[in-house]
Structure 1
């Protein structure tokens, strides 16, 4: 992958964000998809805070309420940011206090460049002032964007691009307040340096529908699992719901698949639309405690593709600035080790045809960082995390998946762990026909190595779950 391979010659500061936050991916809500510029206001923020509490979201871990772009109007003579007076008549500290009184944490938006993406005052040259201002307001979370900054579209990043983020990181450190820092640089070349800069970092452009979720998030994050973990997380962007009337949305099955995949990818769970008019389907999706537990698992391992029949992807194509394609007509299996087993998502990307998939449960073992760290097993107790049904002990899972982004999600608890590193005979016999996870082969800062491809094995007479 060219964008990661080329990082070997770039050197940046090794100092990190010293806040002790981000041991699990952040959860909360961001205003952008709902309100963009026109609707961001004190009135709507207080309504959202009330609604989050009414829906019981804080109890499930959704703790951050983050105001995105367009709140800032100008800088005063002292350099301090001034919000739009009509939208925020009582000032930002008053809004933060209201959010805190609801038991939530308050987040705000800035940009590393001279201007924000919507043309409001940016943070370049004001890093210390803004950090001190945000802390005085009681801010708990800062999203910092990448518009109008040096080399925002370069590949690889230059010292100037990383340096601006370092300035703000250091300014936050010096305040002494623990503030979650989320970068929005829209590029996966931040990932190798992410934990030195922030608690999370965007890996691609905005996700606004299923196709952009594939191009800018799912296929990109498959190559980045080694960089995410406790303290800092690859961020594939906000969750897009399916509520009627939303400006940004997916179909109900696609939005549920996104939530399942984001959980297996150990991604931030930031609700991105329709908080005030959320459909019952979306509410059911986002309040599934068992799926949330997968995302928040304390091991903090980002899941990987453990099987697929998709075309072999070119490393250079993963660079989202140069590649935006149709979703492939294929299927994937993603798996993530959790402290008491594995989480598994079976996914049908084909837009038009259903797919029958037969997945051998021992294949989830490839989702461990190395095969030697995973004692092999032949069968597992299986639970469907959406129907919340126990499916018994199985050696394989057979399902038919509807087209256009349908998926099934399971929890697997192995019953017969193998103490030896020797693979079961059945596993060894079929290993050459399976596609292992995208386990990186490191040479300095070299790119991940795509190891193999394989073909899907459809059942003639499946016993479906």
Structure 2
């Protein structure tokens, strides 16, 4: 009897292990795409908007630059049927989600959707608690490629168990889906998220105003405050598992060009997922240039998969480093002050990791798109107010 029981346990254990995992090789570099929430929230999202965003992603050159996911955030769902399967809001999405996913795929893009680990979504729509398998099966049937999974209305729930439950349901449903854990960093998902999802939020939501107020950008959780919250988390990120400081605010609420450039640069240095949230249809040329900047995207998408880290902190002036493949290094001079910062760069004294004074690196200013000599000489720089200079160093 004991032998029989042991065999049952072993068989069950192997069977459980066979489905208890996430899909691998789906996010070797940080995911890039667009999410509906920042511009349209609940009231404005609908089928027409999503189709037009997919069209604009192609027409404005974002797809060519590497953006691939079109993600519907909250407010696409309205109830459940007698078998627990989710019901689509037909007023907003009259053709259904499967048809919309097919349209997005026809544009050479991938399709994402949203749910919540709790009983309700953050907007009060039906959450996935107790219906994980039905939802995973539905997403697979619809052709979903990406799931953002929120953390509202989860009173009494344990984060690791809740997210693992959906991870296993997705795997059992059989369609490879990038799993984005929107847990807000409350339960330190960087310590356990690698085995559960492909990216995890490390913070609460970004402030969409993104405007300068005193010595802090933004008045809710400004994007530069989110940068501070990433310090020390670099060891947890890498290919297939990324720290996520939330979506981009570039192009929202008239964010000034200098702040947009600095914001995008720091997300690139942090190897953060790049999920745009502006209205791509009406995007101006400046924001388009920032979001599709080849040099910064190459830093963000570098296959080495290293998150950048701070190497110098002078209060309102910081220097950040991001190791790149082929021995290259990205260096970002980040001026958080309201005044221009003049700084003499002595490459041998700014604590660049794995940097040898015997090695001479060529310097390229990425935003200016020009070569700046080499690291054998000191250089004087001026970093404008609330802006950055980003160099790529190559041996």
Fold-level match, TM-score > 0.5? yes
What is the match of residue 10 of structure 1?
none
- What is the correspondence of 1:36-435 to structure 2 with a 5 Å cutoff? 36-150=41-155, 160-187=158-185, 189-207=188-206, 208=208, 209=210, 210-211=217-218, 212-214=221-223, 216-242=225-251, 246=252, 248=253, 250-310=255-315, 330-340=316-326, 341-350=328-337, 352-362=338-348, 366-367=352-353, 375=356, 377=358, 379-394=360-375, 395-403=377-385, 405-414=386-395
Query: Matches of 1:127 and 1:95 in 2, distance apart?
Result: 22
SS of residue matched to 1:237: coil
Query: When the two structures are aligned, how many residues end up with a matched partner?
Result: 364
Task: Measure how far apart 1:215 and its partner are.
Answer: 5.8
Query: Matches of 1:401 and 1:388 in 2, distance apart?
Result: 16
Cα offsets for 1:196-239 (capped at 9, x unmatched)? 11000011011122332346520011120000000110001111
Task: Measure how far apart 1:376 and its partner are.
Answer: 5.1
Provide TM-score, normalisation by structure 1: 0.75
SS of residue matched to 1:361: coil
Provide TM-score, normalisation by structure 2: 0.88
| Paired residues of 1:235 and 1:268 also in contact (CA < 8 A) | yes
Task: Measure how far apart 1:402 and its partner are.
Answer: 2.0
Gaps of 5+ in 1: 1-12, 153-159, 311-329, 415-465
Query: Matches of 1:136 and 1:364 in 2, distance apart?
Result: 53
Task: Measure how far apart 1:195 and its partner are.
Answer: 0.6
Residues 72 and 377 (structure 1 numbering): CA distance in 2 closer, same or farther, change over 3 Å?
A: farther
Query: Matches of 1:16 and 1:173 in 2, distance apart?
Result: 7
Gaps of 5+ in 2: 1-16, 211-216
Query: Matches of 2:179 and 2:31 in 1, distance apart?
Result: 10
Residues 70 and 377 (structure 1 numbering): CA distance in 2 closer, same or farther, change over 3 Å?
A: farther
SS of residue matched to 1:28: strand
Cα offsets for 1:131-186 (capped at 9, x unmatched)? 0000100000000000011357xxxxxxx121100000011111221100001111
